[in-house]
């Protein structure tokens, strides 16, 4: 990750290494299926600090994606508390929660979710159009984000002209462009080969170590455990930290 410059748009918001960026207490989530109740999470406690990369592991259907959706503020139908940078996600009004989500949290998807008709630059810039930035500010923030993932030389390419790894780097740049310090990555290498997967894991590790990002990673990729600071196994609705 050489020659990547620092930007004012990627300042650290978590003040100290010991202060949790994410703090969860008694998190419980269930679904009603007819006359039955399906428990997804039961009284889960969890925290993550600045610069940490935490792997959330577990079998398909265990609730990893549901957990990340709750952290992203997309699902508030739960009991317990989710604190992101000392703000209670569930207690916030919808507009405030949306603002917090767009400025604090970035989400990275397995299928990239890029708009096919837009260039890499336009895909990264797109979230900024909902905010009161001037055009020059949006452009500089987008340049910074693409530079951060070492992809500025592909800014004019559309998704069909990019490799899978490049698409995912565009997705990561888009997640970062608003200044997010928490990245929620749901199977980010699920569609990539081994070589591309390693590059994505290297990038996420770099963002933690050099830019203070907190990364929560859901993955079945066996290589992911080599990059994580901690591994949390989601089993039967509970979090069990791997030794």
Mean pLDDT computed over 157-168:
98
For 181-203, how does the pLDDT look when each residue is reduced to its tens digit (9 = 90+)? 999 999 999 999 999 999 999 99
What are the C-alpha distances in Å from 114 to residues 45, 127, 176?
34, 12, 14
Mean pLDDT computed over 30-58:
91
Query: What gap in Å lies between CA 101 and CA 72, rounded to an integer?
Result: 6
Query: What gap in Å lies between CA 216 and CA 6, rounded to an integer?
Result: 23
Mean pLDDT computed over 118-123:
98
Locus of tokens 């949390």? 232
pLDDT band at residue 34 under the 50/70/90 scheme: confident
- Whether 80 shows a pLDDT value over 90: the answer reads yes
Cβ contacts of 171 within 8 Å, gap of 6 or more: 108, 109, 112, 113, 114, 188
- Whether 243 shows a pLDDT value over 60: the answer reads no
Cβ contacts of 31 within 8 Å, gap of 6 or more: 37, 38, 40
Please give the class, per CATH, of domain 21-241.
alpha beta
For 7-17, how does the pLDDT look when each residue is reduced to its tens digit (9 = 90+)? 334 444 444 44
pLDDT band at residue 118 under the 50/70/90 scheme: very high
pLDDT at 19: 64
Q: Against a cut of 0.75, is the pTM above it?
A: yes
- Whether 57 shows a pLDDT value over 50: the answer reads yes
Nearest to 126 by CA among 110, 112, 139: 139
């Amino acid at each position: 990750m050489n020659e990547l410059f620092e930007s004012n748009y990627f300042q650290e918001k978590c003040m100290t290494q010991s202060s949790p960026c994410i703090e969860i207490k008694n998190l419980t989530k269930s679904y009603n299926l007819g006359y039955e109740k399906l428990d997804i999470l039961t009284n889960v406690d969890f925290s993550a600090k600045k610069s940490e990369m935490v792997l959330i592991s577990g079998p398909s259907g265990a609730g990893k994606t549901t957990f990340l959706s709750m952290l992203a503020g997309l699902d508030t139908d739960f009991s317990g508390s989710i604190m992101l940078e000392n703000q209670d996600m569930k207690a916030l009004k919808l507009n405030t929660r949306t603002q917090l989500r767009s400025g604090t949290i970035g989400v990275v998807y397995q299928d990239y979710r890029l708009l096919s008709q837009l260039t890499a630059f336009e895909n990264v810039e797109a979230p900024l159009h909902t905010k009161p930035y001037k055009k020059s500010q949006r452009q500089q923030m987008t340049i910074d984000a693409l530079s951060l993932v070492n992809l500025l030389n592909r800014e004019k390419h559309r998704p069909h002209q990019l490799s899978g790894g490049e698409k995912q780097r565009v997705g990561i740049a888009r997640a970062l462009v608003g200044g997010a310090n928490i990245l929620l990555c749901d199977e980010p290498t699920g569609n990539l080969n081994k070589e591309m997967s390693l590059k994505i894991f290297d990038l996420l590790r770099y963002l933690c170590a050099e830019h203070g990002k907190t990364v929560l990673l859901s993955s079945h990729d066996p290589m992911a455990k080599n990059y994580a600071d901690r591994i949390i196994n989601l089993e039967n609705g509970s979090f069990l930290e791997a030794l």
